[in-house]
Amino acid sequence: MSGHSSEATREIWRRRMERYSRSGRSVVRFCAGEGVSVASFYYWRKKLKAGPRRRPVSGPPTFRPVAVVPAASTVSVYLPGGARIEVDGHDLNAVRTVVAEVTQANGPGTASSEGRSPVADGLPGDGSC
């Protein structure tokens, strides 16, 4: 097939894939009957599913406006007994205040019923405030 153009080769494989889908044979048996390798079969099946190649667009690149939206960030503070407080993660002072109040009220290192200490999940770094 080395003398075929890329479009001719594509058409040969497109027809081959149609024959395969009607054959009812395994890929290995079909390829043996066609005289092609199984690797080539899967290569062309993937290539044909991707569709025709796109040609590069001529001219200068164009840019489209986009809006950058900050990601939502919520920090959850788990309390003894299973209660949870959610605080806006962008406001680190609010997170520090909530953690300090919970720690002061329950004593440092007090674990909740879920096995978590009353500290904030979701803070960057080592979790210390």
Instruction: Confirm whether 60 is domain-assigned.
Output: no
pLDDT in tens, 92-118: 788 788 878 877 776 655 444 444 444
The single-letter DSSP state of residue 11 is H
Does 13 score more than 80 pLDDT?
yes
Instruction: Confirm whether 59 is domain-assigned.
Output: no
Q: Are 121 and 76 in contact (CB under 8 A)?
A: yes
Range of the domain at 100: 74-121
Q: Are 87 and 97 in contact (CB under 8 A)?
A: no
Instruction: Confirm whether 55 is domain-assigned.
Output: no
Instruction: Confirm whether 102 is domain-assigned.
Output: yes
Which ranges of 51-129 does DSSP label H, i.e. alpha helix?
Answer: 92-106
Does 123 score more than 90 pLDDT?
no
Lowest mean pLDDT among 22-26, 33-37, 86-90, 108-112: 108-112
Domain count, the chain: 2
Confidence of residue 17 (pLDDT cuts 50, 70, 90): very high
Mean pLDDT in residue range 5-19 = 91
Does 68 score more than 70 pLDDT?
yes
pLDDT in tens, 70-83: 777 787 877 777 88
pLDDT at position 87, please? 81
Say whether both 45 and 84 belong to one domain: no
- Residue 102, judged by CB atoms within 10 A of its CB (0-12, 13-18, 19+), counts as buried
Instruction: Confirm whether 34 is domain-assigned.
Output: yes
pTM equals 0.39
pLDDT at position 127, please? 45
Confidence of residue 55 (pLDDT cuts 50, 70, 90): low
